[in-house]
Amino acid sequence: MNYDLVINNGQVIVSKKGQLFSQNLHIGVTNGKIASLSSSPLSGQLTIDARHLHVLPGVIDSQVHFREPGLTHKEDLETGTRAAALGGVTSIFEMPNTKPPTTTREALEDKIKRAEGRAWVNFAFFVGAAQDNISSLRELEKSPGCSGVKVFMGSSTGSLLVEDDENLRQILRSGQRRVIVHSEDEYRLRERKHIADSAKSPLAHPEWRDAESAVRSTERLLRLARETHRPVHVLHVTTKEEIAILKEYKDIATVEVTPQHLTLFAPDCYETLGTLAQMNPPIRSKDHMEGLWKGLLDGTVDIIGSDHAPHTIEEKTKEYPQSPSGMPGVQTLVPIMLNHIHEGRLSLTKFVELVCENPRRVFGCTTKGQIEVGLDADFTLVDLKKQRRIENSWIVSRCGWTPFDGKHVTGWPTHTIVGGHLVMQDDHIIGTPQGQKVLFE
């Protein structure tokens, strides 16, 4: 049989009986689906020789802010998904704090329309929960292309904020799908804002938005999740205390951490990067970083997402705390984590679990996240031995910078394949945008 696309000779990460392992296989793709996993080489219209490469299920970045509509001087759906493709990411779930925020069916459909024909990778969008749309969330979360409902318990970029328990309780009672949450206690943040105002230095950022702000919020959230029997997903967890608490709530809560919280730590990052290291929740001290690693390795952490949240250099270099929080990350997620694999902090199969298998399970995107006949032909090919230096000049996000500028890494994405189409090879974008709407159970 002559396939549309063939990947021969790769070390393919496959799942059998819940276990991930690497196997030398040859993959045949027809009509955007995996049609064959063979022990013998195959022939096709386009053949990729993956000798010396590992073939992963397409990496899913389940937390990005691509800023369209309304904030497109920072990023848009074309530049953001181009960055994703260059970084080896094949699907993104985008956040609702745009202008206008994604709180209505019309706003959701507008984003989907904007992505069609422009997105280099697959896409879905979160709907934002707000006090004025609680009654419609149950229907909104069922909309095609909706990856779920997002709640901001602490204020960040944008106008979406649900700070009180009663509105949060109503949101958790309005629907069935897992609710994703930015968990910081807004009351405590307001009480402590004077710390940031008087310090005028990003070194104060983790003091203002301290560990207690995160812990209080997460404890409130977990109590309400149990009360309402609604599963939640706690985004960008930053404290060792939250990891210990969340470990006891795995029946109702899943957990995300970011590459930057696993790699950077205070005060060093603020001394070297200044406001470029400013994000919410903050990058904290090394003991918190080690607590995140402990939770990642013992199974408390389910997912790694980038929290790609770009701002221009001009915005970021304003005096703290006028400087906005957030940093780009979708293009560097794979290289940064492959370097941790090289350094022995985690295995390749554990990484695949965190960015492929678990997003598939947590969000219910069952045609993604595994290499199996009949599933979508999304693949991330990586060279675990390739040495590179991450540089701002490589970043195609509209913001044009990365906090990892100058970092030497071992491990690099070599090919990105979306729906059977090769869209990136050796740091070059190829063809035309091929991203499609992600489907959920």
How does pLDDT run across 202-257, given as a tens digit for each residue?
A: 999 999 999 999 999 999 999 999 999 999 999 999 999 999 999 999 999 999 99
In 3D space, the residue among 136, 220, 146, 133 whose CA is nearest the CA of residue 177 turns out to be 146
Whether 257 and 165 map to the same domain: the answer is: yes
Residue linked to tokens 């059977």: 420
Whether 114 and 21 map to the same domain: the answer is: no
Give backbone dihedrals phi and psi of 335, rounded to 5 degrees, phi first: -60, -40
Question: Percent of the chain, pLDDT > 90?
Answer: 97
Here the CATH number for the domain that contains residue 110 is: 3.20.20.140
In 3D space, the residue among 21, 83, 126 whose CA is nearest the CA of residue 334 turns out to be 83
Does residue 438 form part of some domain? Answer: no
- The domain in which residue 341 lies consists of 58-363
Whether 38 and 169 map to the same domain: the answer is: no
Here the CATH number for the domain that contains residue 424 is: 2.30.40.10
Does residue 437 form part of some domain? Answer: no
Whether 355 and 244 map to the same domain: the answer is: yes
Q: To the nearest 10°, the Cα dihedral for 397, 354, 366, 434?
A: 20
Does residue 419 form part of some domain? Answer: yes
Cα(36)–Cα(30) distance, integer angstroms: 9
Give me the pLDDT at residue 157, please: 57
Q: Are 346 and 297 in contact (CB under 8 A)?
A: yes
Spatial CB neighbours of 77, under 8 Å, sequence gap ≥ 6: 66, 68, 94, 111, 114, 115, 118, 119, 123
∠ CA(321), CA(398), CA(402), 5° rounding?
A: 60
Cα(16)–Cα(117) distance, integer angstroms: 35
Whether 187 and 171 map to the same domain: the answer is: yes
Whether 242 and 260 map to the same domain: the answer is: yes
Does residue 171 form part of some domain? Answer: yes
DSSP-based three-state secondary structure for 209: coil
Is pTM, for the whole model, over 0.95?
Answer: yes
Whether 230 and 355 map to the same domain: the answer is: yes
DSSP-based three-state secondary structure for 100: coil
Catalytic residue among 185, 210, 302, 307: 307
DSSP-based three-state secondary structure for 30: strand
Whether 414 and 311 map to the same domain: the answer is: no
* Ranges of residues in the chain whose predicted pLDDT is under 50: none
Does residue 336 form part of some domain? Answer: yes
Give backbone dihedrals phi and psi of 22, rounded to 5 degrees, phi first: -95, 135
Number of independent structural domains in the chain: 2
Does residue 401 form part of some domain? Answer: no
Give me the pLDDT at residue 202, please: 98
Whether 258 and 146 map to the same domain: the answer is: yes
Does residue 78 form part of some domain? Answer: yes
In 3D space, the residue among 85, 26, 91 whose CA is nearest the CA of residue 62 turns out to be 91
Structure confidence by residue, pLDDT tens digits, 83-117 = 999 999 999 999 999 999 999 999 999 999 999 99
Does residue 15 form part of some domain? Answer: yes
Q: Is 307 a catalytic residue?
A: yes
